[in-house]
């Protein structure tokens, strides 16, 4: 059971737009920055978004991030078959005195 809640799967056609939600609480998303990762089949996760909405160098602007209250959203426009992957959100959780890094359970994106 993950601390952050993501839908298990989403799907859309090539060229379309999809959003992936990540729901948490005031102890994590509500008061901390969110990052997003893309994991292509058989590979290591790759950073897509940090600080809620910033893209690292080399990440196309088809990928976007936003946060509102205790939820965050990853948006992908102009879907390509190469975007088929698992997507994870992550953030810091301060519910315990020492703190903790928490991830969502992951969302599998299928490009139909």
Partner 1 sequence: QVQLQESGPGLVKPSETLSLTCAVSGYSISSGYYWGWIRQPPGKGLEWIGSIYHSGSTYYNPSLKSRVTISVDTSKNQFSLKLSSVTAADTAVYYCARHVGIAAAGNWFDPWGQGTLVTVSS
Binding residues (CB under 8 A) for partner 1: these are: 2, 31-33, 35, 37, 43-47, 50-51, 56, 88, 90-92, 94, 96, 98-106
Closer to partner 1 by CB, 42 or 78: give it: 42
As measured in angstroms, the least distance from the Cβ of 54 to partner 1 is 9
CA distance 50 to 52: 5
Closer to partner 1 by CB, 12 or 47: give it: 47
Find, among 67, 29, 63, the residue nearest to 47 by Cα.
63
As measured in angstroms, the least distance from the Cβ of 42 to partner 1 is 10
């Amino acid at each position: 059971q993950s601390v952050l809640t993501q839908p298990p799967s989403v799907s859309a056609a090539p060229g379309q737009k999809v959003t992936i939600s990540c729901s948490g609480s005031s102890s994590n998303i509500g008061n901390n920055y969110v990052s997003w990762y893309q994991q292509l089949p058989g590979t290591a996760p790759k950073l897509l978004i940090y600080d809620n909405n910033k893209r690292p160098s080399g990440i196309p602007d088809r990928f976007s991030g936003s946060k509102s209250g205790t939820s965050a959203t990853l948006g992908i426009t102009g879907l390509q078959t190469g975007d088929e992957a698992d997507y994870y959100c992550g953030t810091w959780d301060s519910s315990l005195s020492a703190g903790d890094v928490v991830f969502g359970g992951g969302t599998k994106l299928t490009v139909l």
